[in-house]
Structure 1
């Protein structure tokens, strides 16, 4: 489960991310609270979130082109330093009492710009640290790292905001980048797996899109992630409405739902790390299970049953995320990996902001139960259809059987099946 941590360079990176991810989650909570305090407007909070994601939607593909050209470790040193300075600037403005809402808008957009380069660089740098054999395990542990911070960061931020104010949460986030920057500086360059960089040339963005379009295992995986993230991952819309409108239980139940989902996501990431391989049938099955469980949760009659379903929903959601991420990286030539991963992250991160208004409209028009059920149904149906399409492209046939009393679903090559029939 933790085999990639035996690699010294990755161990340094992992430890740095533990600290930095905690600070990132703290800043997210403090940033939203500060904007709400300054304006009293939920719309302003939404604008802040949109500004942070907008650069990825606008420039994400160009970021991938740059990442394929640049050395990953120096690039990450620059992006991590930029994000640290942003956190420290917000801390200074807040602690001195000079902060205004436009300062937060600018900071959110600046972080988004850094993420355009930082995100694909971090994704592709994992391969250079651990190699292909350990990639699935390392990607899974990265997700477990992030989900652990998701459990700790908001709780610490809440205590810090209540006790000493939002400025100190920003300060912690700015200083937390010392850990990953130190980890990058302490790495041994000779232990990194050399990856060929793309020379500067015209048409590299178009080349990346054509590369993805010509490989069914890439394009359909990214399409599946797009459907799941757009229609299935709108939990801020659904969970708050279930807590308030359906169960009339308040903010405490909303926090419980998110905590249980984070626990499930952490479990899913650790199980993926133990599994060690990225199989497409795991991706399809995980997406179908994720969507189906959302439908079941939408029909849950009681708060506690709904809450208990959050853990497996989080687990299968993370299974989809980790399996798709590692599958795309393993199926991509190293020289194209930055462009492909930037497209993947643009679809994954951009899906939720695009899907949230749709989810909100369905919820307002037909109720939150209908909204959650519709999102789950679309995710499950998309997974089933894409699984069958890829099976047809690969000349595979879906088979269902039993092994030691357990159902087994798999795709079998038609040639193998025909040979077995002849024998």
Structure 2
């Protein structure tokens, strides 16, 4: 009897240790990715000051914001293979070392007023930011059971809108205090602290060892033979395009159409991304707890509701109705982000999940990078916003169509 009791006590102890380790791990990767997203958005809120200090136009300065997702999108699909080979923790370690150095490099280049060096630092940082994001999603997804995977990933990816918001809010304060270049050091300091938490936690987590030694071509072929990966990537492209179009152009649209101040139009538009903190977690809970790990119904609902909302925002002349629609649209389109990572991770073999997630994030970030540029060109070319809204609506309709024919996750209980 005493032996049995002792065994139970040890089992409970191991469970508590594992739970604490997972909590520490998700806290660490959340803080790390929030810091990197803070870095992405930091120049946006002080763009005119950046342009003045660097002696460039605002149109050129905005590339400092676009540089990070651009290099992320171009390189991430290939680096997923190395996540599968070296393991999530090792790739996160390499990414952290890189972002610490590039954060300091960005600060130095900004202090010296050298635009080309600052742009180069952010391009290099984008590669590491993408690696950290993909490896972190894979690490969290592999450290929990199927029944909790979407919920855990949903909690983790709230770090992105939180980091964006912190970047927008804190950079003007930092700029008025010690100068805007210091905002880049936030990533370096927070990355070091976060990595210490991750390092301590992984020693107590049950993580399968990496066994993939296949070539890049073999891994790509293995991933792309799963048609669900193609569906997931296409839906991610559509959802992120919708999300970044609304984020980038709604403040200007509201300001011009309703003659609002920049502060007021920006504040009203901010409700759209802010809803992601709720919906990204909520979608995982709904999928895991109410739908038996089914992912596709959440994606269907997100696109189905988002499509008429963007049409409503484009056509209505009532400001109150637009703000209401922004709240609902911000919630529903970000439901996709809470489940699409779990969806793609679950449809491939365990030894190529990093490669699959890398393809997914490349598709999503490509949409995030291209949508503001394409819609901006449409607005400039036509002198109207309707073609830009039409572009976003067409992509949303394509996402909706794909969600109705996409296969369900093999981990579904139904």
TM-score by length of 2: 0.84
1:249-398 to 2 correspondences below 5 Å:
249-275=260-286, 276=288, 277-366=293-382, 368-390=384-406
Tell me how far apart the structure 2 counterparts of residues 49 and 148 of structure 1 sit (CA, whole Å): 17
Q: Structure 1 residues 243 and 90 mapped into 2: Cα distance closer, same or farther (>3 Å)?
A: same
Secondary structure of 1:193's counterpart equals coil
Match of 2:153 in 1: 139
Tell me how far apart the structure 2 counterparts of residues 189 and 302 of structure 1 sit (CA, whole Å): 55
User: What per-residue deviation string (whole Å, max 9, x for no partner) do you get for residues 149-199 of structure 1?
Assistant: 333342122212123211332223221112211112211424222144311
Secondary structure of 1:66's counterpart equals helix
Is 1:9 paired with 2:25?
Answer: no
Secondary structure of 1:197's counterpart equals coil
User: What per-residue deviation string (whole Å, max 9, x for no partner) do you get for residues 71-119 of structure 1?
Assistant: 221221221121012112333454xx42411221111011012134323
In the TM superposition, residue 17 of structure 1 has moved relative to its aligned partner by 4.0
Q: Does the Cα contact within 8 Å between 1:128 and 1:193 map onto a contact in 2?
A: yes
Tell me how far apart the structure 2 counterparts of residues 348 and 383 of structure 1 sit (CA, whole Å): 12
Match of 2:120 in 1: 106
Q: Structure 1 residues 104 and 258 mapped into 2: Cα distance closer, same or farther (>3 Å)?
A: farther
Secondary structure of 2:212's counterpart equals coil
Q: Does the Cα contact within 8 Å between 2:313 and 2:325 map onto a contact in 1?
A: yes
Q: Does the Cα contact within 8 Å between 1:51 and 1:105 map onto a contact in 2?
A: yes
Tell me how far apart the structure 2 counterparts of residues 147 and 187 of structure 1 sit (CA, whole Å): 24
Structure 2, unmatched stretches of 5+, are 1-15, 409-413
Tell me how far apart the structure 2 counterparts of residues 336 and 229 of structure 1 sit (CA, whole Å): 24
Q: Structure 1 residues 26 and 348 mapped into 2: Cα distance closer, same or farther (>3 Å)?
A: closer
Tell me how far apart the structure 1 counterparts of residues 182 and 206 of structure 2 sit (CA, whole Å): 36
Tell me how far apart the structure 2 counterparts of residues 47 and 377 of structure 1 sit (CA, whole Å): 26
Question: RMSD value over aligned CA atoms?
Answer: 2.7
Secondary structure of 1:130's counterpart equals coil
Is 1:31 paired with 2:31?
Answer: no
Match of 1:67 in 2: 83
In the TM superposition, residue 145 of structure 1 has moved relative to its aligned partner by 3.1
Residue number among 183, 191, 194 corresponding to 2:208 in the alignment: 194
Tell me the matched-pair count: 385
1:166-245 to 2 correspondences below 5 Å:
166-199=180-213, 201-202=214-215, 204-205=216-217, 207-230=218-241, 233-245=244-256
Tell me how far apart the structure 1 counterparts of residues 404 and 30 of structure 2 sit (CA, whole Å): 39
In the TM superposition, residue 293 of structure 1 has moved relative to its aligned partner by 1.2
Is 1:120 paired with 2:134?
Answer: yes
My pick for the range that moved more, 131-140 or 369-378, is 369-378
Match of 1:420 in 2: none
Q: Does the Cα contact within 8 Å between 1:224 and 1:383 map onto a contact in 2?
A: yes
Q: Does the Cα contact within 8 Å between 1:269 and 1:319 map onto a contact in 2?
A: yes
In the TM superposition, residue 210 of structure 1 has moved relative to its aligned partner by 3.0
In the TM superposition, residue 382 of structure 1 has moved relative to its aligned partner by 0.9
Match of 1:419 in 2: none
My pick for the range that moved more, 184-193 or 306-315, is 184-193
Secondary structure of 2:147's counterpart equals coil
Q: Structure 1 residues 25 and 165 mapped into 2: Cα distance closer, same or farther (>3 Å)?
A: farther
Q: Structure 1 residues 49 and 66 mapped into 2: Cα distance closer, same or farther (>3 Å)?
A: same
Q: Structure 1 residues 296 and 130 mapped into 2: Cα distance closer, same or farther (>3 Å)?
A: same
Is 1:148 paired with 2:159?
Answer: no
In the TM superposition, residue 8 of structure 1 has moved relative to its aligned partner by 2.3
Q: Does the Cα contact within 8 Å between 2:234 and 2:399 map onto a contact in 1?
A: no
